[in-house]
Chain A
Amino acid sequence: MSLRVENLSLRYATGVEVLQDVSLEVQPGEFVSVVGPSGCGKSTLLNVVAGLVDRRLDVERLGRVTWNGREIRTAGDWAGELGYVFQRDTLLPWFTLQQNVELGLRIRGVARDQRERRVRELVRMVGLQGFEGVFPHQLSGGMRQRAQLLRTLAYEPKVILMDEPFGALDAHTRLGLQREVTEMWTQLRNTVLFVTHDLTEAIVMAQRVVLLSHRPGRVVEVYEVPFPYPRDPIELQGRREFALLHAEIWQGLAREFRAQDLEREAERPRA
């Protein structure tokens, strides 16, 4: 009973290899983050897990993804148990905040009054009350990302994938959202796979950190993060244990940065 990625490899028809023999298991109710240098296939990994790899693209794929033993090939295979928070704002611009947040509930056939009650609860939780009737373009970046989060939490998916959800936000807003998300997760305990390029964020949020190599992405190392929840991201970053763990993972990550730089150097045509 878990989310399993088994020996997953992915290669485009152009010959570019994105993922190489990636295996990892996320236990139900576990929060795992994935870090790695840019272009290492972190986002691709999430898309494969979600079943959202564009079928029109010519990709050769080995290995498999399963959730509770059921193989996932398309988004439909999740049978409604998946949530996905994107880095880019993917709220539907023609729907109000209320309408956006209740989309998942509408798909699941939840009655209108129940939907409204649920959205009211959620909106209050992140301080967006009063903005229910507002269109996305009238919201700030941080508010939009909160709304996107609510849209996913609203239908209580068992598994939530997050692809650098705070990447486009300023440092202060990001810290606030990191705290809100860890608080919510402490209560809800969904299974979370969280992709980020920010090592501090990865450690602050997760129970385990998976380090991917530079492209093609392989699992280099998996680190346990022993801090108990609820966590305060700001306080946590001041701790000695945090600094030690950060330094340890950083060495691994820095090795991948250097290896990637060297490879790029070698590929550069000489004058």
Chain B
Amino acid sequence: MFGLFDKKYHNPELLETIRQTQDRWFDFLDKLETRMHEMCMAAVPEIREVFNQDTDLYKRAHGHMLMGLRGQIDQMRHKANKTKEENIFYFIDCATAELPDFISSAGREYHNKLHTFRMDCINRHYIFEEKIAHYTSLLNNAAGEQDLEAIYQEQLTAFENIRDKFVCKQCGGNMTIPQIFFIATYITCPFCQTQNTFIPSTGAQMVLHQARCLAEQRTAHLLKIYEETKPKNHHLYQQYLRSMFDEWNKIVPDMAEENEKFHQRLLQDHSNSINHY
């Protein structure tokens, strides 16, 4: 009965189908990549334009456009995954089921061929996924960074221009706002001691929300040094974090006390994540 397994197994038809399927798979991904390239290259200048013209405080037109484009990339990814399952893996499973046993020398040759085919298809798909990552970051970075420093300096100037322009609602005495505020606050009239409520401009209120991002922009070079050092140096991270929080506190000094508590937590989280290795 062992002689049965030693019979040479031939299936030229299967070999031809493997070859054709692989060609189609490669060709299919080529086409998707070409389309992705075409869409993203055309999109980059448009994204920039929309970003620059977007007057919304949160740049939502830009945000929605970006999500739409990423949605299309995702749609291509989904299409590739579905095809991989239905046309590659399913085909391999069916073909495998038809082959003689793997332990026979006749079967082994074809099992190996199918295995090579599977790996080639997976590797090609991996390249496709890398392209997706590449184009996604291209889209994400298309608009460049918002110049938060300029926006912040604008607010400081705007505040200097208005700080002496208020009068007490009770006695009409001149009031000077002692510092830039980012939330509504009570201010006492120096003449009649009445509690007035000062409500900062929308722009000043936004500073509070942008303060961390601005501090990160100011200290990005330190984060880069940390990230590029191998192996990762915990002290460099601590140095970065300290500088980032120093900048953050400079921008919104009123929040320094709360920020420091958050700083402690981030330090703790980071050292915990290191200890796990």
Q: Decide if A and B are genuine partners.
A: no
List chain A positions with a Cβ less than 8 A from chain B.
Answer: none
